[in-house]
Structures are given as C-alpha cells and as structure tokens.
Chain A
Amino acid sequence: MEYLTALPQQGMDAWNAWLAANPQLCAWLAALGRFVLPVLALLILTGQIRSLLRVPCDPEVWACLSLPNGGTELLTHWENILGRSGSCDVALNYPVVSRQHAALIRDETGAWTVYDLGSKRGVSVNGVQVAGQAEVRFGDVLDLGGVETVLLPVPPEERRRGKRPAGVRRPASPWPGLVLLTAFQMLCALELVVAGGKDAPAAIPGAFLCLSLVMWVYVLGMRVLRRVGFEMETIAFFLSTLSLAVTASSAPAALFKQFLALLLGLGLFLVLGVFLRDLKRVRKIRWLMAAAAIGLVSLTLAMGAAPRFGAANWLRIGSLSFQPSELAKICYIFAGSATLERLFRKRNLGLFILLTGVCLGCLALMSDFGAAAIFFVTFLVIAYLRSGDFATLALICGGGVFAVLTVLSAKPYVLRRFAAWGHVWENASAGGYQQTRAMSAAASGGLVGVGAGRGWLHRVGAADTDLVFGMLCEEWGLLVAVLAVLCICTLAVFAVRACRAGRSSFYTIAACAATSMMVFQTCLNVFGSVDILPLTGVTFPFVSNGGSAMLASWGLLAFLKATDTRPNASFAIPLPARRDERTGASLAPEAAPRREEKP
C-alpha cells in the first residue's frame, strides 16, 4: 500500500518542483483558470439545464377506454381515477357516475386492476359486480354505475404517434457536456496543484482523474444498456466535482474519503434506481424502510455519540464518522411516498405522522434542529401531495410552531444562534463570526472567484460544509455559486413537470419530496451562510464536504431518475420488452429503442 502511494507522490514532487521553477507559468495558469473555469461551468450547465427544462413530459399512453358516446379516453398513467369530477384522470360526465368512482391501475406486468372507490352505484366487469377490486383484461366491459366502457390496448395511430421521431423528445446528447466537464475537472485539478505549490499532494490529480474515469465508465456503461438521458447525472457529477475541489482546498487529507463516498453514492443511486423499477417490490419494502428510518435516527442516540458542532448527530466507528440521519432521509421518503392504490385503501396519514413524530423527536433529542426542519418540510410536502388537506396541515404546522417554542424554552442556546441573525456585522467576533467571514470571502471572489485553492475561508470552522456557499463564491466566483444553486432548482422544476407523465403516484410523490428536501436544504445552507436565515449547520446537496451527505444526495437523485419517463432516458425505468412490441399489448414508447439502434 505504501509503495502504491509513494510512486505517484514522487512523480508529483517532481512536477511540483518543475512548477516552482516556472513561477511565470504558474501565474498565467492561475489567471487563465479564473476566467476559463466559470465559462466552462456556464457551458456545461446551460446545456444540461436547458435540456432538463425543455423535456416536454409528454404523457405516455398505456391503454384506452372506449366510451358509450363512441369516443375514446387515453389512459396516460399507470394509476387513473375515473369519475364525474373534473379533477379525475378520466372524467365521465354522467349523473350516474360518482364524483370519484373507480381507480384503474396497471402493474409493471401490464395487468390492469379496477378498484371501486366506494361509488354509489358500484362497478362491474363483464357484468360481474366488483367487490373491492378485480382484474380487467383488454376487451373487457367495465361498467361504472351503468356507464359501459371497454378497456382497449393502445390504438395503432397512437403508437405511431409515439414512434414519430420528434427531435425534442430526445434527451440532449451527453457527449459535449461530458467532454466539457472532463476538461473542467482536469483544469480544476491543475489549478489546485498550482495553488497548492510545493506541498500539493498526488491525491488531488488522482481524485479528479478517478472522478473523470468513473463518470465515463458510468455513461458508456449506460449507453451499452441503451439509456440516453444523462442530464441529472451530469449535474450531479458537476456538483460533485465542486465538492472534491472544496475538499481539496480545505482538507486535502479527506479527499480520498470524499471520493469514496461519491463512489458509494453512485452505487446507491444505481441500486436504488434499479430497485425502484418494480413497484410491487417497492410496496413490499416500504415498511422495512420506515423501520430503517427510525432505526437510523435512533442509532446515534442509542450509541451515545459525542456532540460535534453543537449537534450530537455523528456516529463514530473507529476513525470513520458518519451521520445516520442523512441516510434516514432516503428511507423516510421511501416510506412516506405511496401508490394511489394505498392512498385509497388507507386515507389517513396516521402512521406517516407517527413515523415523522418519532424521527423528529430523535433529531430534536440530538439537537440536530437543521435536520429536523428538513424532515418537517419534507413531511409537509408528502402529506400535502398525499392528502391535499390544508386544514390538517395547518393544524400540524401549528403543532410544529408549538414544538419549536417548547424547544426554544428548553434549550436556550438554540436561541443564541438566532440572536446574531440579521446583525452579524455587529457581532462579527461572536455570534456572527462564521457568516461575516463567509460574506467577506464571498465578496472578495467577485464574479469569477480568486481561483481554486486560493481562498482563506476554509480556515474558518465548518467552511467546507455549512459555509460551503461562501467558499464557492470565494474560490469559484458568484457565477459558479449561482449556477450550483440553479442546478438544484432545475431538478425541482423537473420533478414537478414530470408529474404530467408520472406513471405511479409513488414516483411522483417521492421525486417531489426528494427535490423539495434538496431545495430546502440548499435554502438553509445558502441563506444561513450569508445571514438571510440563521445559520443552522445544514449541508449543500452534493457540494458540501461530508461522506454521508454525498451518499444521501446521490440516493435522493435516484427518486428523480425514476420519474424520467422519456423513452429510454432512465435506467430506473425498465426498457420495454421487445416481445411486448410484437404482441401489441403495449405501448407507445416502445418504438424508441429501435430508433436508437439506427446508426
């Protein structure tokens, strides 16, 4: 092992010595990097962001219903509600049909099931009254309180429409972004080495080279598997690059650990994405995930972790330390999201509220109020998406305010953090110490930054985690920092837009919850570091230095990947089997793979 690191370090020392002998070159490289890197970042991200925001989110057609009046209604989701109300997926404007009459739900094998949603006049399939639920095959007559409809496969003209090679439907080609990102990573490593001077460790170019390699292997591997959408991953890889740069600048020794976390995160992303393909599997494991969420947040409490930075949310095993509450976020969203079928079978939020209560209680006990706030906001998002019930949520919010007041009276030191809020410059050496330095450093960077590895903010405590936005502004400039925040916003907008083509409410709710979590976390991190909100000690998704946070960010991205229903875009959605195409039992997007195979 020693030999393994010694050799690169020797080469590195020789390289450093050569650089030291050419100070003029170093100065030129530094000046060049300051201006080229933000431009590269701009090019990389505008491409990806534009592609993500332009996704038309065309609904996929899974089957259709012929109506008594001769018309047909397309079923564009796996989970459809049939009823008289305008908010139903298939609106049947007949007085005999209840407002929400029935749900027609498809599983991943293509089998359809109808659920009676407590309608007045009942549901029958082929004349047989349905008690609760019943399978529906193509050609079956589905009777909703006397209105007869027939479930039919996707009509040929619809399938052709799906085949139509509309350019906009295809995700942007990943190659330009990938090449630019690789150039960005290489230049970034060079900048960091130049800035590091004689002591620059070989780990810096090593980590960046490995990252590029992993990135290419991932994309090429996915291409072999016939997947074409890579915008989210490119954005995540870009933010992870920034994370490595921040780590290299503030704690070079932790670079290897951070890269490892990235690798693990990518692994989690893949595993979770593949797992999410199968909705049946997902349904089965939700209980396990709820238990895991509680287990993870209570683990730290049980192990009696030592407080660090005021919050006792760290778990130490040997030399490794990690935050179980970060991983609990994934489990929590997994457990909280629900399929439509479940939403109708179990209308109240009781168990979910219980889960949330336990999680928040544990987090409050370890004084991790930032994480508690994130869980609470995610809870609100999930609860609203599931129930749409403002009254209950208002009640819960009231309870939340009460809980906050209780906490503040029990733990007055929390209030002290708030005391400096809005007055950090008057308390620059006490409560506003970190924020004033973050803002001063952020201003010093200007638009283009002082250069990677040339800042001083990293000497301030928690600079590479809680104040990472300040570090980005300082070393990378306002431009890159703003772009990083815009990336997170883009993911959120994509998640909301993808609802239109959402197959199951599980995916939709999970994606919205995951991005809301990321966005709220970004809000707390960015605004906390620049005194728009009190400093809460929350990480910036993907960017902050920290293994657990990196792992969690990639995990959350998997939920988003599972909603990307563009043909063949996402590995988290199974490719349509070819035999389906032949039998015609399925569906519009199948046409795409054949198109892909063309040179």
Chain B
Amino acid sequence: MKKIERRALLCLLLPLALLAGLLLFCVRWALYGGRWASFAANRHLYNAQGALRVGRVLDRDGDVLCWVDEDGGREYYPNAAVRRATLHAVGDPGGNIGTGALVAFAGRLSGYNLLTGAYPVLGQGRDLYLTLDARYNYIAYEALNGRKGAVGVYNYKTGEILCMVSAPSFDPLSPPEDIEENPQYEGVYLNRFLSGVFVPGSVYKTVTLAAAIERIPGLLERKWTCTGSTQVGDGAVTCPRAHGEQDVGAALANSCNGVFALLAAELGEETMAEYTRKAGLTESYTVSGLNTAAGRFELAGLSERQLGWAGVGQHSDMVNPCALMVYMGALANGGTAAVPELILKAENALGFAGAVSRPRQTARLAEPATAELLADMMAENVASAYGAERFPNMDLCAKSGTAEVGGGKSPHAWFAGFLRGEDTPYAFVALVENGGSGADAAGDAAAQVLNAIVNGYS
C-alpha cells in the first residue's frame, strides 16, 4: 500500500495541470477580456448586423456623432458631409474601419469592465467624447474636395487631435454598393492619417536639414549655385528650375533638391538613418490605443545619388502623416511633443467620467537649438514662398512637399508645419494624393482648417 500511496502522488500532476491551465485562462481573460467582448458576434454588445448597440460618440463640443435608436440600430449625425468627414474617427456600422471609435473604443463605449462584464451596474453604454471638432473635420473634408488624402491638426502641448480626416470616405448611413470595385473608393476603409504611409517628398527635407545643422560645421555660411541639375555621386539630381546662388535658408524656401541631395550624400547613410529614427518617422505611435503605421526609410547600401534622392524624400522613402505631424509638433515645442490622443473622456449614465490620463510626451525628436533654428527657417519659408497673407493671425512655420509618385500620376501634395505662440500650440499635416503642387493644394486645405481653429468660424 505504501508503494501505491507514493505512486498516487503522481496523480496530482493532472489537477496541477488543470489549475495551471485555469490560471492561464484567467490571466488571458483579464488581459484580453475587453477585446474578446468587443467581438461583433457578441450579442450582449452588438446587434444582429454586427453594429455596437450601446454607447454614444460625441465630438469635443458635445455634438452627437453617433448613437443608438430604440431598436438597437446605429444612428449618425444628420448632415451627410459631416458623416463622411468623421467616418474614419467614428466608424462604419459594418465595423470595417479599424480606427473608428465603434471598433477601436468599443470597450470604452460599452463600459465593459472585469467585475460586471458587459453589463455595468449603472447600465450599459457610455458617452465617449472625442478630441475632434466635427466642424474642423467638415472644413478639411470639404477642402479636400473629393480628392484622396488626409488632414490632421493637433495640440502639441496636450496631445488632443482637433481634426482628423481621411479621404475617400462614404456615408455610413448609405454605404455605396460598388465600394469594392469602384477605384474611387480604393482603400476607403484605411484611415490614411493613422494607418497610411506615403512618399514624403520635400517635407522630409526638414529632417535632412536638422541633421546638417548639427553635423556639418559652417553650414549657415555655405553657398550653392543651382543650375537645375546637380551632380551627386555618379548621377544628377534635378530641380524643376534653376534656383541660382543660395544659402541653406534660401535652399529650404526654394526646396532645392540639388542642395539637399548634396547635404544628404555628405552626411552619409548612417547619419541620415539616425536622424530619421530620432525624428520618430520610423516609429509607430500609440494614439489612444491605436497603433499608427511606421514609416519606412531604406537608406542602407545606397549609392550617393540614391542617397541624395532619399535625402529629399524620394527614392523609397515612406512616411506616416501622423508621425510627421508629431515631428512638426516637436520642432515647435523645443524637441519633444505630446503624443496624440483621440479620446477626451468617457462618461457613464451619471455623467461621471473615468480618470483623465495625463498627456504622454514623446522621446526627444530634435535638439532644442536645432528645433528653434529650423522653426525660424520654416517661418521664413512661409513669408517668402507660401504667402503669410493666406494664414492670417498665425505665426506659421511650414514646409511644403511635392512628392513624385511615378507611374505618370501627379505628385502627392504635402503641407506640414506648426503654429508658434502660447495660444495656438497646433501642429498639422495635410496630404492631397496626386494633388500637384504642395503649397497650393495641401496648403489650401491646411489654411482653411487653421483659419477656422485660430480665427473661429461663423
């Protein structure tokens, strides 16, 4: 019997395995429970069409963008243009837009918690206030005027995103029938601002310039003469026209490819990679829990000419609009900026909001002195190249980009920058795909939104 008694101890392995597995499940349950509950087949939170049947989405002023009617169906803002402009922030009924609040913040909307699950004691459903202003979204969406692109504006001190638009868009109340095949709706479910990557073109020159300021002694005293075609390494880098003799400030204002290609080649691939990484352009930010797409810069093993092109934001460079906006915010804010946020607060039935999170800061994206110098040059840009009168009452620093995309298509138009001043801590990015000249197409969209933010709207 003693032997059997000893052997029986081995039988304890099975209950131990059961306990271990149970523990594993409990840990997973605690970690991923919110995600499991936010599953479109979960009838506690979703209706038969797979749409969230609890919670309201509001903008920062309290305009209700999306709510639930008595039958559990989803209702959206009365104005169709506003519905389109806020689609990628709010989400569609089918749950196809991953960055939409209905999908991304389903847990916050339902009030899901580990104690009471999908049915909080104070009732299901919360009011989720986004940091966005529907009005700015509307203005930006109208400014894009049917073209594909993205516009984002955020407060680089608090991290609140005031405007986030991605086009093309559609009306969530009447999704187009031909959404899958019509090229007009290509990539419509993608939030271009958070999840897209695009050829940056000249807006990337701000990174090249930051590296040059710190690594090339006597940069500010140098002079270059642009003939429209500059020999870099074994090949030529061309400009749209001859810029003549210029210093580095003028080269930035002219957006001279030749000068920046020479600088990039002189800095070398390692320095360029280092500064790109430092600027956060290869990083993925977490915006209220949503991960942005990371940019791609393949700088290793390039010839001098290729590195030159990469240094002016061409070659195989790809940047995410949101990451670029954060870099602009950091230039404005002495080298670091707040990480963008999309959620202002979530209130339960009693109007009680949960703990407000303090703004998170990015790592150091630029040295303070460099940032200040760059800001001055970008302000000079606005005065000399873009026209300060287009941006009334603003201390604007900006850089345009006209990014060649090949394939016989028009270049992407970029306009990125920031406002200085205590009362206007805004950084922005505007992208119009195949929009032509950056300062014109994207600059207009940015100007309209910034004008509404700074000078108000009637």
Contacts and interface: CB of A to CB of B under 8 A. Distances in A.
B52 to A, nearest CB: 13
B41 A381 contact: no
Interface stretch (A10-18, A42-50, A203-211, A502-510): A502-510
Contacts of B19: 489
B1 A340 contact: yes
A440 B121 CA distance: 20
A488 interface: yes
A60 to B, nearest CB: 12
Contact of B36 (A381, A439, A496): A439
A385 B26 contact: no
Interface in A408-461: 428, 436-437, 439-451, 456
Chain B binding site: helix, strand, loop or mixed by DSSP? helix
Contacts of A125: none
Nearest to B119: A450
B450 interface: no
A516 interface: yes
A489 B18 contact: yes
Given A456-B43, A512-B11, A516-B11, A443 B1 contact: no
A478 interface: yes
Interface in B279-313: none
A423 B113 CA distance: 25
Contact of A496 (B9, B21, B114, B121): B9
Chain A binding site: helix, strand, loop or mixed by DSSP? helix
A87 B18 contact: no
A467 interface: no
Given A446-B118, A450-B44, A492-B15, A502 B29 contact: no
Nearest to B23: A482
B1 A80 contact: yes
B82 interface: no
A89 B12 contact: no
Interface residues of B, number: 45
Contact of B118 (A77, A89, A450): A450
Nearest to B33: A443
A456 to B, nearest CB: 4
Contact of A502 (B1, B18, B45, B115): B1
Instruction: Identify the interface centre among A440, A508, A533: most chain B CB within 10 Å of its CB.
Output: A440
B5 interface: yes
A446 B117 contact: yes
A263 interface: no
B8 interface: yes
B15 A493 contact: yes
A526 B37 contact: no
A196 to B, nearest CB: 17
Contact of A385 (B7, B12, B21): B7
A444 B117 contact: yes
Interface in A450-506: 450-451, 456, 473, 477-478, 482, 485, 488-489, 492-493, 495-496, 499-500, 502, 505
A285 interface: no
Contacts of B113: 446
Contact of A428 (B25, B26, B41, B119): B41
A449 B9 contact: no
Contacts of A449: 117
A215 interface: no
Contact of A79 (B1, B12, B34): B1
A504 to B, nearest CB: 8
Interface residues of A, number: 61
Contacts of A444: 37, 42, 44-45, 112, 117-119
B6 interface: yes
Contact of B26 (A31, A340, A482, A488): A482
Given A482-B26, A496-B8, A523 B18 contact: yes
Contact of B25 (A340, A493, A496, A530): A530
Given A456-B44, A530-B25, A384 B10 contact: yes
A488 B14 CA distance: 11
Contacts of A509: 4
A488 B16 CA distance: 11
Given A443-B117, A450-B117, A526-B22, A500 B5 contact: yes
Instruction: Identify the interface centre among B15, B33, B37: most chain A CB within 10 Å of its CB.
Output: B15
A448 B116 contact: yes
Contacts of B114: 446-447
B41 A495 contact: no
A102 interface: no
A520 interface: yes
B72 to A, nearest CB: 14
A81 interface: yes
A415 B33 CA distance: 28
A377 B18 CA distance: 14
A112 interface: no
A67 interface: no
Nearest to A460: B41
A532 interface: yes
Contact of B6 (A87, A437, A442, A505): A87
Interface in A396-415: none
A64 to B, nearest CB: 16
A505 B4 contact: yes
B201 to A, nearest CB: 37
Interface string B35-72: 11101011111000000000000000000000000000
A242 B44 CA distance: 22
A274 interface: no
A519 interface: yes
A388 B117 contact: no
Given A440-B37, A492-B12, A516-B11, A81 B43 contact: no
B222 interface: no
A495 B7 CA distance: 13
A492 B121 contact: no
B12 A493 contact: yes
A381 B21 CA distance: 20
B358 interface: no
Contacts of A298: none
A527 interface: yes
A415 B359 CA distance: 50
B355 interface: no
Interface in B111-137: 112-119, 121
B40 to A, nearest CB: 9
A443 B24 contact: no
Nearest to A77: B1
A243 interface: no
Contacts of B350: none
Contacts of B119: 34, 444, 446, 450-451
Contacts of A77: 1
B112 to A, nearest CB: 8
B356 interface: no
A489 B18 CA distance: 8
Contacts of B11: 381, 385, 492, 495-496, 512, 515-516
A512 B19 CA distance: 17
B29 to A, nearest CB: 6
19 contacts: A81-B2, A384-B7, A437-B42, A439-B36, A440-B41, A441-B42, A446-B113, A446-B114, A449-B117, A450-B119, A478-B29, A488-B15, A492-B12, A493-B12, A499-B4, A502-B5, A508-B1, A512-B11, A533-B21
Interface of A: 31, 34, 77, 79-81, 87-89, 340, 377, 381, 384-385, 388, 428, 436-437, 439-451, 456, 473, 477-478, 482, 485, 488-489, 492-493, 495-496, 499-500, 502, 505, 508-509, 512, 515-516, 519-520, 522-523, 526-527, 530, 532-533
Interface of B: 1-12, 14-15, 17-19, 21-22, 24-26, 28-29, 32-37, 39, 41-45, 112-119, 121
Given A384-B10, A482-B22, A496-B12, 4 more contacts: A384-B7, A444-B119, A489-B15, A509-B4
Nearest 9 interchain pairs by C-beta: A446-B117, A443-B36, A443-B33, A444-B118, A456-B43, A440-B39, A492-B15, A443-B37, A489-B15
